[in-house]
Amino acid sequence: MSISTQVVATLEDLGFGLTPKPEESIPSLPRDITELDDEGLMDLFVHFTQWNDHLAGALAVSIINEREAQRAVDQYEASGMLKGWTGGKNDRVALAKATIAATDEMQDLVHDLDIKYAFRKLLETRTLNVERDSNVVSRELTRRTSNHEGLRSRQRKFNT
């Protein structure tokens, strides 16, 4: 069982499960966000927030999986170095590492590590994109809120 699976299960036992995948797909930003009414804008912000929460957990799991794969590569290399070490003057570290790297087992471990690295990078990119889009929506919400507050303030001034 992977480390991430064990940790996620423990978190769930403590009541801290990862945020589930939202039912709707990741929303797209409208070309002109100012055309959305307040309710539509808030709905869009909620969807982005749900996806941010979900992707952050998924990214953490992918980072854990990548680290676990890196550790497997390192341990296999260290084990191979120890097995082939004779302690003599003719031992060459570079030759030993190259011999280990050429094994099918090491190739499989490195391939698994590369897949986990690529998955993390793509997930990281997706997470940053959703976060950036969410920030755009948040800024528009802030702009509208500050405009409404300014309007209310002016109305109070003229009503007194």
R_g over Cα of the chain: 26
With beta carbons less than 8 A apart as the criterion, state whether 69 and 123 touch: no
Q: Which residue has the tokens 């528009």?
A: 140
Q: Which residues contact 15 (CB under 8 A, 6 or more apart)?
A: none
One-letter amino acid at 77 equals E
- 62-96 pLDDT per residue, tens: 999 999 999 999 999 988 887 876 666 556 777 77
- 113-157 pLDDT per residue, tens: 999 999 999 999 999 999 999 999 999 999 988 877 655 655 555
CA-based nearest residue to 54, from 9, 23, 28, 30: 23
Return mean pLDDT, the chain. Answer: 88
Q: Does 152 or 58 have the greater pLDDT score?
A: 58
Alpha helices (runs of H) in the chain, residue ranges in sequence order: 3-13, 38-84, 93-101, 104-159
Q: Is 113 exposed, middle or buried (0-12, 13-18, 19+ CB in 10 A)?
A: buried
Report how far residue 113's alpha carbon sits from residue 116's, in angstroms, rounded to the nearest whole number. Answer: 5
Q: For the chain, which residues make up each domain, given as ranges?
A: 41-76+105-159
Distance set, CA 56 to CA 2, 63, 116 (Å): 19, 11, 16
pTM of the predicted model, to two decimals?
0.78
User: Does residue 109 carry a pLDDT above 80?
Assistant: yes
